Amino acid sequence: MVTHFSRILSSRLELEDLTNGILPELMRYCDSNAGAILIEDNGSFIPRACIGIEKPEILGQREMIKRCASEAKRMRIDLPPDIMIEGALLSARPASIIIEPIVYHEVTLALIVLSFLKAPREEINKILDLLSPNIAIALRNALSYDQLQRLAANDSLTGLFNRRFGMARLQEEYGRAVRSNAPIGICIFDLDHFKQVNDTYGHQAGDRVLIHIARIIRSVLREGDIALRYGGEEFMAVLPGASMTDAYQIAERIRRQVEESEFLHGPQRIKLTLSGGVASWPDFDASSPEALVKRADESLYASKEGGRNRITVL
């Protein structure tokens, strides 16, 4: 199996040819009746190969797809007989769906969706464990350098910079600020009571909340500012040229817009607030970008301790 599959991977260099070669073989090995391969493109996952799926273009909009891409972990969804999938998959009702993230050096390059009319065999996990690393290498070779750079930089759920790339940009901007003796501000935000949202409404609603917050942050920031997903429900904004007052005003605008925004889960409106902490060099004489982040984090902690839904400057 592996030898045959490796021949398919090595003989196809173009992305479309590669994905169209992978999918039918993988479906055959796994006894899947339908499937698709989705490739990341500017924050969305676009189907590049599809068999037996009626509306593949809407797959990338599904919360389970975004969640799998964000967590980079295999997902299996077992569907009761009375549950219909709203046009996302088949005319025949599947018993199970497996979503397999294809990850190369901690970057999700693609998602493979496999549908099953009956419960998948136990050995399918072993098959995917065996073949997924080879698929990742083949896709990495087929993707352009620019695509790989962008994939490595972005958080797949929110589209903001991920922590690793965002912190590298902070290092660059801090060094530039010190050399030019210009201020630089940092805001760190944390969603209030986010665990309660997940526990009450589910992880798919929680993911939509994170996307919603990311959009608000992006809409408020100025040209040249940097937004990143700092942790689970934590975000950071790096503000070149921003004094402590500037950074506070920007953070407060974000806090206010989140509080005033309307987030609907079905017919229910979910009240959202966030807390923030602000620091700026040279108002705070930080000896390094890490020290500046630590100060902003301490300010965030003070906001949490002070009752949440506020911005604090220490």
- Which residues are designated catalytic? 233
- What does the alpha-carbon distance between residue 29 and residue 100 come to, in Å, rounded to a whole number? 14
Provide the CA 34 distance to its chain's centre, in angstroms.
Answer: 26
| Backbone torsion region of residue 156, taken as left when φ is above 0, otherwise alpha when ψ lies between -120 and 50, otherwise beta | alpha
Residue type for 263, please?
F
* DSSP string of the chain, one letter each residue: -HHHHHHHHHT--SHHHHHHHHHHHHHHHHT-SEEEEEEEETTEEEEEEEES-S-GGGGGG-HHHHHHHHHT--EEEE--TTPPP-SSS-SSPPSEEEEEEEEETTEEEEEEEEEESSPPPTTHHHHHHHHHHHHHHHHHHHS-HHHHHHHHHB-TTT-SBPHHHHHHHHHHHHHHHHHHT--EEEEEEEETTHHHHHHHH-HHHHHHHHHHHHHHHHHHSPTT-EEEE-SSSEEEEEEET--HHHHHHHHHHHHHHHHH--EEETTEEEP--EEEEEEEETTS--SSHHHHHHHHHHHHHHHHHTTSS-EEE-
